[in-house]
């Protein structure tokens, strides 16, 4: 059986952006006067919607600090961070190859709609995806709502879709939606944590992912 629909997380799965997210979150926290957080603590929340991520890192954050953090984080991520962010090697070829094999492609991400659209336009990749869902227009991962919405929009049955992600939030969301999932080890969560969510496969590069998907 070949999957009709392949749904990708963005940060840490297609985009090598973990370092930039960590840098931007820590910088915004300093500007807002919040307690320092470690790299590992920030990596653990990658994949959540921004409000959920901030409330996980700083449970006592006030509404005023939350608004300030959202603004400072976005500004640093887009304009100020010196940490490079690129697609993982082979990602553009992967998307093109899958389309040539008549697979529908989608994105389910913790990014904001504005943030995802900016990146897709900057990279000229919008045409690769039949549909996308962002955390600020639905429920944050690991709630399965964004996957249910993508399946409904694209008229694909759950057993004909697969979710590709680098965090347990991605994998647990897929499990809750009744969708197969594949874990990528090159992102935010470590291998043991990913394996705890029972993915169909644990892969280590875009090249491995392409080979696996073309066989499934």
Report pLDDT digits (tens) over 13-25. Answer: 999 888 888 999 9
The residues spanned by each domain of the chain are: 5-16+85-214, 18-80
| Mean pLDDT, all residues of the chain | 92
**Please, which residues have CB within 8 angstroms of residue 44's CB and are 6 or more apart in sequence?**
56, 188, 189
Task: Look at strands 5-8 and 86-87 and give their pairing.
Answer: unpaired
Q: Is the pLDDT of residue 1 over 70?
A: no
pLDDT at 9: 95
- 189 with 166: CB under 8 angstroms? yes
Of 3.90.1300.10, 3.40.50.720, 3.40.50.1000, 3.40.50.880, which CATH number belongs to 5-16+85-214?
3.40.50.1000
- Does 1.10.150 match the CATH number of domain 18-80? yes
pLDDT tens per residue, range 133-165: 998 899 989 999 999 999 999 999 999 999 999
179 neighbors 7 (Cβ within 8 angstroms): yes
Q: Give the pLDDT confidence score for residue 159 in this predicted structure.
A: 96
Report pLDDT for 48: 83
Question: Comparing 5-16+85-214 with 18-80, is the CATH topology the same?
Answer: no
Report the alpha-carbon distance of residue 29 to residue 63 in Å, rounded.
14
**How much is the pTM?**
0.86
């Amino acid at each position: 059986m070949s999957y009709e629909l392949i749904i990708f997380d963005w940060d840490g799965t297609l985009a090598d952006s973990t370092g930039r997210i960590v840098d931007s979150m820590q910088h915004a926290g300093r500007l807002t006067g919040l307690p320092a957080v470690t790299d590992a603590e920030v990596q653990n929340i990658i994949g959540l919607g921004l409000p959920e991520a901030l409330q996980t890192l700083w449970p006592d954050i006030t509404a005023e600090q939350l608004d300030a953090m959202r603004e400072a984080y976005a500004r640093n991520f887009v304009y100020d961070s010196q940490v490079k962010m690129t697609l993982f090697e082979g990602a553009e070829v992967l998307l093109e190859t899958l389309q040539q094999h008549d697979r529908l492609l989608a994105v389910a991400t913790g990014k904001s709609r504005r943030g995802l659209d900016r990146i897709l336009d900057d990279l000229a990749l919008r045409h690769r995806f039949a549909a996308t869902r962002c955390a600020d227009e639905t429920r944050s991962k690991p709630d399965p709502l964004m996957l249910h919405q993508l399946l409904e929009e694209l008229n694909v049955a759950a057993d004909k879709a697969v979710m590709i992600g680098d965090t347990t939030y991605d994998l647990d969301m897929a499990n809750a939606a009744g969708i197969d999932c594949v874990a990528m080890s090159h992102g935010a969560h470590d291998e043991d944590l990913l394996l705890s969510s029972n993915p169909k496969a644990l892969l280590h590069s875009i090249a491995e992912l392409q080979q696996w998907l073309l066989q499934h």
